[in-house]
Amino acid sequence: MFPLRTMALGALLLPVAAFANDPYSYAQPDEVRVSHLDLQLKLDFAQRQLDGQATLTLDWKNPKATNLVLDTRDLNISSVESVDASGKTAALKYALAPRDKQLGSKLTIQTPQRPHEVRIVYTTSPAASGLQWLPPAQTADKKQPFMFSQSESIHARSWVPLQDSPAIRFTYDAHVAAPQDTRVAMSAPNDPKHPLNGDFSFSQTHPIPSYLLAIAAGDLDVRETGPRSAVYAEPSVVGKAAHEFEDTEKMIATAEKLYGPYRWGRYDILVLPPSFPYGGMENPNMTFATPTVLVGDKSLVSLVAHELAHSWSGNLVTAASWRDIWLNEGVTTYVQGRITEALYGTRQADEEALLDIHTLQKEIGSMPANSQRLAPKPGAVDADDSLSDVAYTKGSWFLRTLEQRFGRDTFDNYLKSYFNHFAFQSITTEQMLSFLKPNLIDKYPGKMSWADVQDWVYGTGIPKNAPIPDSPRFDTIDKERSAFLAGTLTADKLDAKDWNTQEWMYFLNGLPDVPPLDKIQAIDAAWHLTGTPNAEIGMRWYVHAIAAGDKSVWPAAAEHMTRIGRLYLTLPVYAAFSKTPDGLAYAEQVYAKAKDGYHPLTQQAVETLFAKAKARHH
């Protein structure tokens, strides 16, 4: 997913069995594992539900086991039955436990005969946490309803009864019935020429974890961008998206040259409606992406580099638990940087890394100690909360350190061997370290001590010797910003004509939290940031201009907030307005008009922010 934003060695080499039971799943994989899912789904937009039938192929690990335990959340179970080799079925007794707020409801199925397959007939809830049903108002073209899933971290259980843990991988086949003229896409190879006949079939032949199970359906057009890639988006968006992502094939080829073959066949990108509250999601074969990266100059396509990189780190080699999620996100952010550097140059790659590093440096000291560790002590961090800047930025920073210490060629060869060794497996931090020690640390002695490795993985904060990339452009921007704020350089003399998106982000990030009003007005007069179509620049600009008291930007800020549903780019502007009673009243008026176009998660976040602001003002 694109970011929203010390032990002794003996303790490191724990056997896999020590991590067999995921604290965020009721599944008992040491008893039985699901190896294949056969899924029959019918889309019901009017009822906002899926009518489902899930047939699970079972690999019994314990010959004495008598129960199959699955994860569910808010599913209405109609029937459960066993299926023998000849297709004969028999009803099975089952019990659905009371709902746990985080984990959902444990489904225990009595299986004294340990059948080869179990079939569950069910319907989803309109409020399923992993499915979002958008009315036409929440789409770009506002013509047809739209539905998409977001299974990470533990939301697959809200639309399929399964073993919802990243440690358990399965293949799947799916058959989906949809309304005519609706295109369905899933996290499997998709056919860009598939007729819109309401009858879709998919087959994922590589074993994947449950959080990568994905589906979307709506008014989707397709543009092919290469021999194995295409862009899917609403008709009014697809042309712009195809232009922005025209380098997709080059990205795949670049990653293959570095880390070995792309093993998934096709790599397609689905651009979701504007209400999508996240940046991107690395669903196999079909990345789900925010439309906010479509700025026309490819300056934000690192999101695609990130999600593509997951095809090696995350989808191919998967963290076995949410506690180990840095193995997905940290390694991926490092690989993303390498793809970006190869295609768009060292300058952009280093600037993106520095923006992340500065954000983490600013935030990490205020985090709880356990949240500062790449591998937190078990049980103290919620599954969703594990996806923090620590996993992404500290994780990638650790790999940049390894690259610097051992040399790029040596580290590239190591990383390629790591992906090959653990391909299509789910692993723990300890398994990764047990491979790292003999194959890199011990193989090239004197480059990096094992104590340094442990400090990165199990220590709090950032190690003191962490390398920080140089950016002459950022250094120049620091000097110009200081001179501008001191009054010795006027806004129109800033050397900003050729600044890219990252450089504008850096300039704005470094302004005072409450800049002088005259400085804000001078920047806008010279560089016309109000009304920018670039959401990354716009979010930072409006936050500072509102804080400075420039009411002339309010209408443009309102347009930004209404147009964009991505939480990371919208919520800070609401927060800036909410710091004064007048601003809060204005933000509430904007929200009243924009609300119907927002994702439920965005609605919840804005309303929570308003409640806290009102409490402060009263």
> Kind of pairing, strands 169-177 and 32-44?
parallel
588 exposure class (CB count in 10 Å sphere: 0-12, 13-18, 19+): middle
What lies within 8 Å, CB to CB, of 161 at 6+ separation is 54, 70, 71, 72, 75, 77, 107, 120, 122
DSSP 261: -
| H or E stretch at 100 | none
Q: Up-side HSE of residue 429: CA atoms within 13 Å toward CB?
A: 25
Report the greatest alpha carbon distance in the chain. 84
Helix axis angle, 408-421 to 248-259, nearest 10°: 90
C-alpha 571/C-alpha 172 separation (Å) is 37
206: left (phi over 0), alpha (psi -120 to 50) or beta: beta
Q: Catalytic residues, which ones?
A: 307, 392
C-alpha 333/C-alpha 190 separation (Å) is 26
> Kind of pairing, strands 425-427 and 317-319?
parallel
C-alpha 542/C-alpha 520 separation (Å) is 10
C-alpha 122/C-alpha 119 separation (Å) is 10
What tokens does 561 get?
Answer: 């907030």
Of 466, 469, 556, 477, nearest to 509 by C-alpha is 477
Q: 105 preceded by cis ω (within 30°)?
A: no
CA 130 to chain centre: 14
Contact status, residue 237 vs residue 293, Cβ threshold 8 Å: no
What lies within 8 Å, CB to CB, of 74 at 6+ separation is 99, 104, 105, 124, 125, 127, 128, 129, 158
User: Is there a binding annotation on residue 306?
Assistant: yes
Question: Please, what sign has the CA dihedral across residues 165, 166, 167, 168?
Answer: positive
Of 550, 564, 548, nearest to 597 by C-alpha is 564
User: Is there a binding annotation on residue 310?
Assistant: yes
| H or E stretch at 288 | strand 286-289
C-alpha 525/C-alpha 550 separation (Å) is 13
DSSP 615: H
Q: Up-side HSE of residue 244: CA atoms within 13 Å toward CB?
A: 28
DSSP 39: E
Contact status, residue 311 vs residue 267, Cβ threshold 8 Å: yes
DSSP string, 108-126: EEE-TT--SEEEEEEE--T
CA 111 to chain centre: 36
C-alpha 530/C-alpha 108 separation (Å) is 57
Binding residues: 306, 310, 329
Binding residues for Zn(2+): 306, 310, 329
